[in-house]
Amino acid sequence: MRDPRYDILFTPVKIGPVTARNRFFQVPHCNGMGHAMPLAHAAMREVKAEGGWAVVSTEECEIHPTSDLTPYVEARLWDDRDIPALALMCDKVHAHGALAAVELSHNGPTASNLYSREVLIGPSHQPSKYGYPSQARAMTLEDIRAYRRWHKAAALRAKRAGMDIIYVYAAHDLSLPMHFLQRRRNHRSDEYGGSLENRVRLLREVLEDTRDAVGDRCAVALRFATDELLGPEGVELTEAQDIVGLLAELPDLWDVNLAAWYNDSVPSRFAPEGAQESFVSFVKKLTTKPVVGVGRFTSPDTMVSQIRRGVIDLIGAARPSIADPFLPRKIEEGRVDDIRECIGCNICVSGDMTISPIRCTQNPTMGEEWRKGWHPERLPPKRHASRVLVVGGGPAGLEAARALGQRGYEVSLAEARRELGGRVTREARLPGLAEWARVRDWRVGQIGKLANVSVYLDSVLSAQDVLDFGAEHVVLATGCHWRRDGFGRSNGLGIDGLAAHPSGFTLDDLMDGRLPSGNVTVFDDDGFYYASIAADLLHQHGCKVTYATPEDSVAPWSVNTLDYRHIRKRMAKQGIEVQVSHSIAGFDGGVLTLENTWDGTRIEQPCDAIVTVTARLPDDALYQALLAREAEWSDAGVRSVRCIGDAEAPGLIAHAVYAGHRYARELEEPSTGEVAFKRHFHAAHPQDV
């Protein structure tokens, strides 16, 4: 069934004492569930194994209370009581013929120890990385011996849990073996500091310890950052080449990438597929061991090219496996068109960052495998032969129509515009967001294969049209629009005179091609990506752009998607002036008055136009009109009317897709009650009662 040119992706790869059945390798990734929600975690990993990944890894796994990552929720192997949680995952992964891998980690000065209250440790005295008001102390030689013991003990526990591959972690600036490599963190004058041989010593010892402890049955993988892009303060490519040369045959597998996380999982706005190639391609030349690398690979042709050109041996993926846990199977079964490609928006990352279960824009079932029993490929068949009318072809409407179609409903999708995709189509035309169109394209492709879903473009429906249509169920996914009046988090009464000002613009204007010129201020009271993209667009259009926000930093929420640093760098490069902690006090079409949030002082500056990014309002007029005519529903044969997505409450594209999916899943199903999902409840361990 599969295209023979992809055969190479399905050849087994020997990794030390174990063999991966193919070349698809789900590298470690955080998920916000970790040790706190082991059943949910295991079910999420199981779906990857079922979807054909040969190796399924955990996220970072804390090995000791001196490496406590609170408030982040990762995996944990502090003592034997942590084994069952990971054994759950191993059993599920093995049931589908995949290998289970664990990324053992001691985060040294990049831990928090907020829960354990242990003193942080590091190669040398230094402040904790994440701004906690504490320092790590320099490890003594006895500390180093203790750390090696903890790592070995954790490796043995991982083996008992059923892990097949045990990682030694020296990447992302997150783990002691890497911290010892870094000149900026390692100022030691003993045998663990100074020369490269000395700085590599701990990494070598831990690799050897791990092999001694578990190497009879488990493979030992080394996750290694080849560059931190920090210059001589950090691990740099030239030194990384020496390190790989020194350790070449010691691990059974090299897993190589860039550090820190924001350089590794770069949003698609700032890096294309395969962007790490020039930083990792040297590794295979220095070792005979298999090499896995990442690059948000979703195209099987790119994957084959990576292998054929000798860049990597195994296709590493975190995000592509989140967006489509069945990616390998779809290639294997000759269904490449069915791959739900990651769009590189990093909403998945925001789960970990906000300490909440993982979610994904493209895959609304991610994180819901256990608690809602949602499977990424299977939906329950419809219960009745009902007809459903979906109004609006944005992400919510498209996903609802697709999933309802998959359930077997007779679905009609009406869209006012001449093209599908709603906000996705519009936003994907903004600078750097082209890949976001995949949200539309995958759904349109799937709908095209469903004979029971009809699409009507150029069809603005009124309440009368809906009632005349005669569908039993109506779902309104009619979207939203940006407010013109300046109302938002900071200006609860709006901004005087802005709504009617001819030089006041919104993102909708920009997306409709109505762009201001001259001196333009983008006012960001939203805090995520929209305003920085507006600034980018206007800069490209030749405007002199100022970015102003009442917040104390630029696009603060974009930290959660790893966009923040890239946004700041791009703005700096473009010469966009940044005014934080300032709100708009007045605008007369030529002069803008900004007011400092903290001391109330005002500044005036020349300004030809303002683009406000503050808040949105649902386009729910059709819903309200139908509610007003509820008495007519039953005569028209209408049993239910629902409003979903941005038309219910404006949010992320991820929220809209989820809303569409949830609507389709729950239609005509028994009510789930007030709490719509399963939860973890903790029972005390027998040893603790």
Q: Mind telling me the catalytic residues?
A: 30, 169, 172, 264
The partner in contact with residue 319, picked from ligand SF4, ligand ADP, none with C-beta cut-offs of 5 to 8 angstroms by kind, is ligand SF4
- Residue closer to ligand ADP (CB basis): 390 or 554: 390
User: Contacts with ligand SF4: how many residues (CB under 6 A)?
Assistant: 13
Q: 488, 495, 487, 531: which is closest to 510 by C-alpha?
A: 531
CB of 343 to ligand SF4, least distance (A): 4
* Stretch touching ligand ADP by CB under 6 A, among 178-186, 387-395, 495-503, 541-549: 387-395
Give CA separation, 678 vs 99, 229, 371, in Å. Answer: 27, 43, 4
Query: Taking the alpha carbons of 246, 249, 255, 256 in that order, is the dihedral positive or negative?
Result: positive
Site string for ligand ADP, 647-686 (x = CB under 6 A): x--------x------------------------------
Cα–Cα dist 680/300, whole Å: 38
Cα–Cα dist 565/678, whole Å: 37
For residue 510, what is the enclosing H or E element?
helix 507-511
331 with 6: CB under 8 angstroms? yes
The partner in contact with residue 645, picked from ligand SF4, ligand ADP, none with C-beta cut-offs of 5 to 8 angstroms by kind, is ligand ADP
Residues 451-480 that bind ligand ADP (CB under 6 A): 459-461, 477-480
Residues 392-451 that bind ligand ADP (CB under 6 A): 392-397, 414-417, 422-423
Q: Looking at 162, 344, 376, 527, which residue binds ligand SF4 (CB under 6 A)? A: 344
For residue 320, what is the enclosing H or E element?
helix 319-323
Q: Looking at 240, 315, 345, 495, which residue binds ligand SF4 (CB under 6 A)? A: 345
The partner in contact with residue 322, picked from ligand SF4, ligand ADP, none with C-beta cut-offs of 5 to 8 angstroms by kind, is ligand SF4
| Amino acid in the structure at residue 181 | L
Q: DSSP letters of 230-275?
A: SGGGS--HHHHHHHHHHHTTSSSEEEEEESSHHHHS--TTT--TTT
User: Can you say whether residue 628 is alpha, beta or left, with left for phi > 0 and alpha for psi between -120 and 50 degrees?
Assistant: alpha
The partner in contact with residue 28, picked from ligand ADP, ligand SF4, none with C-beta cut-offs of 5 to 8 angstroms by kind, is none
The partner in contact with residue 121, picked from ligand SF4, ligand ADP, none with C-beta cut-offs of 5 to 8 angstroms by kind, is none
Cα–Cα dist 292/311, whole Å: 9
* Stretch touching ligand ADP by CB under 6 A, among 86-94, 157-165, 391-399, 606-614: 391-399
Per the omega criterion (within 30 degrees of 0), is the bond before 260 cis?
yes
- Residue closer to ligand ADP (CB basis): 206 or 626: 626
Cα–Cα dist 105/57, whole Å: 13
Cα–Cα dist 532/547, whole Å: 8
The partner in contact with residue 227, picked from ligand SF4, ligand ADP, none with C-beta cut-offs of 5 to 8 angstroms by kind, is none
CB of 603 to ligand ADP, least distance (A): 36
Q: Looking at 87, 347, 379, 554, which residue binds ligand SF4 (CB under 6 A)? A: 347
Per the omega criterion (within 30 degrees of 0), is the bond before 71 cis?
yes
CB of 439 to ligand SF4, least distance (A): 8
The partner in contact with residue 360, picked from ligand SF4, ligand ADP, none with C-beta cut-offs of 5 to 8 angstroms by kind, is ligand SF4
The partner in contact with residue 108, picked from ligand ADP, ligand SF4, none with C-beta cut-offs of 5 to 8 angstroms by kind, is none
CB of 319 to ligand SF4, least distance (A): 4
The partner in contact with residue 603, picked from ligand ADP, ligand SF4, none with C-beta cut-offs of 5 to 8 angstroms by kind, is none
Q: Looking at 128, 276, 346, 549, which residue binds ligand SF4 (CB under 6 A)? A: 346
* Stretch touching ligand SF4 by CB under 6 A, among 211-219, 358-366, 521-529, 563-571: 358-366
Residues 314-343 that bind ligand SF4 (CB under 6 A): 319, 322-323, 342-343
Q: Which two tokens stand for residue 170?
A: 């020296």
- Residue closer to ligand SF4 (CB basis): 55 or 360: 360
Cα–Cα dist 447/289, whole Å: 44
Q: Which two tokens stand for residue 616?
A: 């949105």
CB of 114 to ligand ADP, least distance (A): 37
* Stretch touching ligand SF4 by CB under 6 A, among 46-54, 345-353, 420-428, 583-591: 345-353
Contact partners, residue 483, CB within 8 Å, separation at least 6: 506, 612, 614, 615, 616, 617
33 binds ligand SF4 (CB under 6 A): no
User: Contacts with ligand ADP: how many residues (CB under 6 A)?
Assistant: 26
The partner in contact with residue 477, picked from ligand ADP, ligand SF4, none with C-beta cut-offs of 5 to 8 angstroms by kind, is ligand ADP
145 with 192: CB under 8 angstroms? no
Residues 595-654 that bind ligand ADP (CB under 6 A): 619, 622, 645-647
- Residue closer to ligand ADP (CB basis): 446 or 478: 478
Q: Which two tokens stand for residue 575?
A: 């010469």
485 with 621: CB under 8 angstroms? no
DSSP 365: T
Cα–Cα dist 384/409, whole Å: 8
587 with 610: CB under 8 angstroms? yes
* Stretch touching ligand ADP by CB under 6 A, among 184-192, 346-354, 389-397, 546-554: 389-397
Give CA separation, 402 vs 37, 477, 620, in Å. Answer: 30, 13, 22
User: Interface with ligand SF4 by CB under 6 A: which residues?
Assistant: 319, 322-323, 342-348, 360-362
Which parts of this chain interact with ligand ADP (CB under 6 A)?
A: 391-397, 414-417, 422-423, 459-461, 477-480, 619, 622, 645-647, 656
